[in-house]
Structure 1
Amino acid sequence: MKASSNLVCVLMAFFAMTSCTAQKNKKPNIIYILADDMGYNELGAYGGKLIETPNIDKLATHGIKFTNHYAGSNICAPSRCALLTGKHTGNSWIRDNKPLPFEGNEPIKSSEVTVAEIFKKANYTTGVFGKWGLGYPNSEGSPDNQGFDEFYGYNCQRHAHSYYTNYMRQNNDSIPLNGNIEAPFTDFTADVIHNQALSFIENNQDKPFFLYYASTLPHNPYHQPDDELLTYYEKKFNIAKGDASDKGFTEPKYAAMSTRLDRQVGELIAKLKHLGILENTLIIFSSDNGTALRPNQDKFLKTGGNLQGRKGQVYEGGIKAPMIAFWQGKIKPGTTSSHISAFWDFLPTCAELVNIENPKDIDGISFLPTLLGQEKQQKKHDYLYWERNQSQAIRKDDMKAVISYDKTTKKQSVEIYNVRKDPNEKINLADSRPKLRNEFIKLAKTARVESELFPLIKNR
């Protein structure tokens, strides 16, 4: 009996060790949560005072917060293209929002390698839930043709402007939302999408997965359930119920949208905990561009802080984005990094994480060393580059140039700021730094390739 008992103990120890080793060697899940139009200073972790985001702030408390991170563009589609392909807007296929006369947007080419295709090579299950905007249904740019096993949400970003639409897309199929056929509408799409994403996690808990959670919150219009959250902010801001100025925008409505997203992030984390897979999941949170609130709307909430510019501009307020990463046991809690990074770094970070070779001709640099506290091994960018709507921006170390072109006169203007000393871009150094000005003008020519779809006036 004693020998038998010893054998049982040895076997139990062996299986416990095997289980521990298997868990240790299991590939991590990756979840990328993308807010829509969230300002850089909106979150409590980034100095926000009025809008409550405790769950996202907790990710920062227990993870890492980046203070020099940038979106792919100052608007939706090109920013998402940069995120998924690892290319900045001087080299990416999509450089602006390009609507089509039917549902959908200009598709990215099948030849483009997306981060989802990187994960597929590493035997991950991939899903995207929310707003796509990179190719109409059944096009070469639709999610199922860009490496995603499952898609649920809005294919077209114009369609995403309705939170009570009567249908969603599941892969390329149209799925009716019966609760929105007749008023009063009951299917709030941000909740419907969220529930689909939670189901994806539950259905794939036993295998490595990549979840791209492209939320539509807090993008306008600010339609949402008339519930306790909206009432809470109306009381907090002391604004009469039903006050609707500026085509429906009010501070309580906007604040409630952002806190709804925060609650959904909390529910996602709770799901991971319940399934026992939180420890093996890397979560990254960011926003696709700066706040859409115009300065006269943003005086109270200060979602963009004192940054110059807003969505649609290449000043800091249009392209600077929060980024928080959480990975229990891997990322040191409470870390802040000033590493200069951008959306196009996400793909090479994932490729390094799953040991897959990067595609050729990408612009991104993996920030995995920074996540893991290995700053000495972190490579740095020579520069970051953006272009859109006859404007270019270049950040090189602490210096940033904003170059604009007049379509009529075809003359260019150049502004230069030290964004470390002058983060709100108030002091234009272009006239006092002629040598640097010429360096930026030269770089503006060489940082990009010509695009027939999105031409830029050639530099003089």
Structure 2
Amino acid sequence: MKTLLRCLTLLLMFALSGGQALAEDAEQPNIIFILADDLGYGDLGCYGQKNFATPRIDQLANEGLRFTQHYAGCTVCFPSRSVLLTGQHMGHVLCRANGDYQFPEDPQEITIASRLKQAGYHTAMIGKSGLSCRSDDPSLPNRKGFDHFFGYLSHGAAHRYYPEHLYRNGEQVDYPGNHGKEGDTYSGDLFLADALRYLDERAEAGGPFFLHLSLQQPHADLQVTQKYREQFIGQFDEQPAKGGGYRDEAHPKSTFAGMVTYLDTTVGQVIDKLHQTGMAENTLVIFSSDNGAMSEGGWSAEYFTSSGPLRGGKRDMYEGGLRVPTIAYWPGTITAGTESDHQSAFYDFAATACELAGIAPPANTDGISYVPTLTGAGSQPTHEYLYWEFYEQGGKQAVRYGDWKGVRLNVNKNRNAPIELYNLADDLGEQHDIAANHPEVVKKIAAIMDEAHEPSPLIDFGQVRKKPKK
């Protein structure tokens, strides 16, 4: 209750200040955003998974808030993370495709880390950088607002769990016993140790912090330490899998289950550290995934029904590619065991974090703060629509408009291609295209797609543009 009253006071001061920074005596909560990679909507016990257990993340849901209609920024990793860090949806954000792209220098694409840093937060990103898909610029995370960075610069390098090197605050850190697909030092162990050390440091230093813990699991390669894989061998009917460009794995189902179990254990240790240091009641923790379930690297999302009741997975504009498991945990503020069907997306996080920090949201944000949903106080504003676009596989657009879902394919060839229409209230699995029965809704969604899309100087439908000079 004390934390809730503090939060309500902070929100009142924010309103009275007209969006300016709050008085220094208003306590700002710490914020941790833990991001899994390619974790499907149905890959957690609290979202229906039956093939293996995720007790620590399930505990977060039991003691916090489970979102049932929260969406990633995109259906693949780099653009989804761009949306998360900037607060702009895919029709407005600059970096909106995997490829040779990275965030430009400020004041372009100012990150939530930079905004929170200006509000007095210490900021850190540990794991897979969301600021570049492929980069050779080790100081980029620090320049884009993170006081501390430890991890991978390149998403391609992050496919490997035994890195030959990582980067810490602009300096290369070598691991001579690692060889990419095999080695001595598992990256997840390194990231967990660094996160726990960071939390100890922040507890000692005091003051608010923002930690973006960007984990690799369960993205291919299919790879986890033996302890986590061995416990599942013999439980599943499985055959060796060829990884293609990824690592081959003799026990793909056991390894995947072990990877999610490893992820679950990592989250649990972070939560334990918050309680050990006395910071839990002043820390909002959000757990989510960057897109839907994968089918690559010897894995199929169908094996464990990783998308749950949803259609499709990674790279699809159907719900299985975009709707992601999302949990918010804040003891003393969020009512334990609650559930919300508020329609929200990654681009809402920046507005939410800014409101909690007591600063104005980005002027160019497409997001709406979900603080009222977290605290249970006040009226929650809602989106008229949610929007996504994707440039692979012929080009795609999607719109969530109330219970309606519109999907347009083959956009690279035809910007006015037919729109598939589904009513998610009646057809969550998007099995019945009812566009012919509702031409007025199709027309509205087509107008939204036109309104929401602005060409990026890097890429547009039907034309990939050159990477700008740094």
TM over 0.5: yes
Root-mean-square deviation (Å): 2.1
Of 231, 234, 244, the match for 2:240: 244
Which amino acid letter does the alignment assign opposite residue 208 of structure 1?
P
Q: How far apart, in 2, do the equivalents of 1:328 and 1:146 lie?
A: 31
- Determine the structure 1 residue equivalent to 2:89: 88
| Residue 404 of structure 1 pairs with residue 409 of structure 2 | yes
Pairwise CA distance, 1:236: 2.8
After superposition, residues 290-305 of structure 1 pair within 5 angstroms as 290-293=292-295, 297-305=300-308
Pairwise CA distance, 1:421: 1.8
After superposition, residues 35-434 of structure 1 pair within 5 angstroms as 35-99=36-100, 105-110=101-106, 111-135=108-132, 136-138=135-137, 142-180=140-178, 185-205=183-203, 206-227=206-227, 229-237=228-236, 243-247=239-243, 248=248, 250-293=252-295, 297-374=300-377, 377-389=379-391, 390-405=395-410, 407-408=412-413, 412-434=417-439
Q: How far apart, in 1, do the equivalents of 2:215 and 2:432 lie?
A: 36
Q: How far apart, in 1, do the equivalents of 2:414 and 2:212 lie?
A: 43
Count of residues in Structure 1 that have an aligned counterpart in Structure 2: 424
Q: In the superposition, relative to structure 1, how do residues 403 and 150 fare at CA in structure 2: closer, same or farther (>3 Å)?
A: same
Q: How far apart, in 1, do the equivalents of 2:166 and 2:414 lie?
A: 45
Q: In the superposition, relative to structure 1, how do residues 108 and 216 fare at CA in structure 2: closer, same or farther (>3 Å)?
A: farther
- Contact 1:290–1:320, Cα closer than 8 Å, also in 2: yes
Which amino acid letter does the alignment assign opposite residue 56 of structure 2?
N
- Contact 1:64–1:333, Cα closer than 8 Å, also in 2: yes
- Contact 2:82–2:131, Cα closer than 8 Å, also in 1: yes
Q: How far apart, in 1, do the equivalents of 2:368 and 2:115 lie?
A: 15
Which amino acid letter does the alignment assign opposite residue 417 of structure 1?
Y
TM-superposition CA deviations, 1:361-387 (whole Å, max 9, x none)? 21000000000013x510000110000
> Which is greater in Rg?
1
- Contact 2:411–2:461, Cα closer than 8 Å, also in 1: no
Which amino acid letter does the alignment assign opposite residue 166 of structure 2?
M
Q: In the superposition, relative to structure 1, how do residues 283 and 408 fare at CA in structure 2: closer, same or farther (>3 Å)?
A: closer
**TM-score normalised by the chain length of structure 2:** 0.86
- Contact 1:44–1:53, Cα closer than 8 Å, also in 2: yes
Q: How far apart, in 2, do the equivalents of 1:422 and 1:410 lie?
A: 26
Amino-acid identity (%): 37
Q: In the superposition, relative to structure 1, how do residues 318 and 181 fare at CA in structure 2: closer, same or farther (>3 Å)?
A: closer
SS in 1 for 2:191: helix
Pairwise CA distance, 1:456: 1.6
Q: In the superposition, relative to structure 1, how do residues 448 and 408 fare at CA in structure 2: closer, same or farther (>3 Å)?
A: closer
Q: How far apart, in 2, do the equivalents of 1:260 and 1:150 lie?
A: 24
Q: In the superposition, relative to structure 1, how do residues 38 and 108 fare at CA in structure 2: closer, same or farther (>3 Å)?
A: farther
Pairwise CA distance, 1:392: 0.4
Pairwise CA distance, 1:148: 0.5
Q: How far apart, in 2, do the equivalents of 1:406 and 1:207 lie?
A: 48
Which amino acid letter does the alignment assign opposite residue 270 of structure 2?
L
Which amino acid letter does the alignment assign opposite residue 96 of structure 1?
A
Higher mean alpha-carbon deviation, 54-63 vs 243-252, is at: 243-252
Moved over 6 A (4+): 181-184
Pairwise CA distance, 1:179: 3.0
Q: In the superposition, relative to structure 1, how do residues 409 and 378 fare at CA in structure 2: closer, same or farther (>3 Å)?
A: closer
- Determine the structure 2 residue equivalent to 1:17: none
- Determine the structure 2 residue equivalent to 1:445: 450
Which amino acid letter does the alignment assign opposite residue 236 of structure 2?
F
Which amino acid letter does the alignment assign opposite residue 87 of structure 1?
Q
Q: How far apart, in 2, do the equivalents of 1:52 and 1:306 lie?
A: 18
Q: Mind listing any 5+ residue stretches in structure 2 that lack a counterpart? A: 1-24, 464-470
Q: How far apart, in 2, do the equivalents of 1:207 and 1:177 lie?
A: 33
Which amino acid letter does the alignment assign opposite residue 292 of structure 2?
G
Which amino acid letter does the alignment assign opposite residue 440 of structure 2?
K
TM-superposition CA deviations, 1:66-88 (whole Å, max 9, x none)? 00100000000010010010000
Which amino acid letter does the alignment assign opposite residue 241 of structure 2?
S
Q: How far apart, in 1, do the equivalents of 2:103 and 2:196 lie?
A: 27
Q: In the superposition, relative to structure 1, how do residues 183 and 256 fare at CA in structure 2: closer, same or farther (>3 Å)?
A: closer
- Contact 2:294–2:301, Cα closer than 8 Å, also in 1: no
- Contact 1:121–1:356, Cα closer than 8 Å, also in 2: no
Higher mean alpha-carbon deviation, 64-73 vs 299-308, is at: 299-308
Q: In the superposition, relative to structure 1, how do residues 214 and 296 fare at CA in structure 2: closer, same or farther (>3 Å)?
A: closer
Which amino acid letter does the alignment assign opposite residue 144 of structure 2?
Q
SS in 1 for 2:177: helix
Which amino acid letter does the alignment assign opposite residue 174 of structure 1?
Q
- Contact 2:389–2:397, Cα closer than 8 Å, also in 1: yes
Pairwise CA distance, 1:190: 1.2
SS in 2 for 1:57: helix
Q: In the superposition, relative to structure 1, how do residues 258 and 427 fare at CA in structure 2: closer, same or farther (>3 Å)?
A: same
TM-superposition CA deviations, 1:169-217 (whole Å, max 9, x none)? 1122211113326997210011111111111111111221110000011
**TM-score normalised by the chain length of structure 1:** 0.88
SS in 2 for 1:175: strand
SS in 2 for 1:305: coil
Q: In the superposition, relative to structure 1, how do residues 26 and 225 fare at CA in structure 2: closer, same or farther (>3 Å)?
A: same
Q: How far apart, in 2, do the equivalents of 1:425 and 1:292 lie?
A: 19
SS in 2 for 1:204: helix
- Contact 1:64–1:336, Cα closer than 8 Å, also in 2: yes
Pairwise CA distance, 1:409: 6.4
- Contact 1:51–1:301, Cα closer than 8 Å, also in 2: no
SS in 2 for 1:345: helix
SS in 2 for 1:235: coil
